[in-house]
Amino acid sequence: MNKRKIIEKLMLGVISTLAVISAIPIFAIMFNVYAEGLKHVNLSFLIDLPPPPVGDRVGGIGPALVGTFTLVSLAMVIGGAIGFFTGLYLSEFSHTKLSQYTQMFLQIMVEFPTIIIGLFAYTILVAPIKRFNALAGGFALSIVIIPYIALNVREAYKSIPYTLKEAAFSLGVSAPVAYLRILLSTARRGVLTALLIGMAKVAGETAPLLFTILGTTFTYFGGLDQPINAIPLLIYNFALSPYERWHQVAWGAAAVLLTIILLIFIVSRLIVKEVKL
């Protein structure tokens, strides 16, 4: 065996080892969360109100679970639509100055502290009506996901060969039909991935919710103009409490949240097949 093959096998071994090492923290976190949390999760845990600090009632995360689905839905309706069309614009008009500045701004927003976004939402949607509310939380989360969705949608549409775009427009259809029906069928995997990244991002966000939804614990959804709770905020509040029962609820909530995020990705991979060009 010559020197080149020895070096090649050595580097392959090093890279493989580093790949395994990089995956260890992820699996360690998942194992820890499930080991501590699954033993507290059952059907009643998903629908019941949280337990009081003292007492024998087991309780659950019902209001927080409903709140999370509500906030994620609001964020995807607002931020998903804006992010999708922004990404489409960046892809098809990348030569313009506006597109270049927009892309730079979105890349900055990816690293932007989300707690400042929560403070902004508090200023315009909480302080004027003097009440924490679900709409402010959904609005803050929609801002968080716009850059993630826009930049990934841009890449999805840019990956479509120019010949396919020419073929779509040669059919004589309008630009909306070409982009939203014909070309979207080709880019659907990338677009769905963009939406899933945004959904997973907002499902686990805590900082923007500190200023917007209050985290009311013992009531279910009462309207977009009312306070609401969410699983990440419940985990944050209960984990910091001195009560052992609340710590158990926090572990169970963490297991539920992790399962929701994992299911989103697994189901999407099973349903959406990669387009072969």
Tokens coding 185: 């069928």
Question: CA of 169: how far to CAs of 162, 165, 177, in Å?
Answer: 11, 6, 9
Per-residue model confidence as pLDDT tens digits over 148-188? 999 989 988 888 888 887 787 787 777 778 888 888 878 88
CATH code, residues 44-48+55-271? 1.10.3720.10
Q: Compute φ and ψ for 228, nearest 5 degrees.
A: -150, 165
Confidence of residue 277 (pLDDT cuts 50, 70, 90): very low
pLDDT at 138: 94
The residue-averaged pLDDT of 117-145 equals 93
pLDDT at 200: 85
Confidence of residue 275 (pLDDT cuts 50, 70, 90): very low
Burial class (CB in 10 A: 0-12, 13-18, 19+), 263: exposed
Per-residue model confidence as pLDDT tens digits over 186-229? 888 888 888 888 888 888 888 899 999 987 767 788 888 889 99
Per domain, the residue ranges of the chain are 3-40, 44-48+55-271
Confidence of residue 271 (pLDDT cuts 50, 70, 90): low
The pTM of the full predicted model, rounded to 2 decimals, is 0.85
pLDDT at 140: 94
Confidence of residue 13 (pLDDT cuts 50, 70, 90): confident
Share of the chain above pLDDT 70, in %: 96
Least confident of 25-29, 119-123, 214-218, 224-228: 214-218
Per-residue model confidence as pLDDT tens digits over 40-88? 888 889 988 888 877 677 788 999 999 999 999 999 999 999 999 999 9
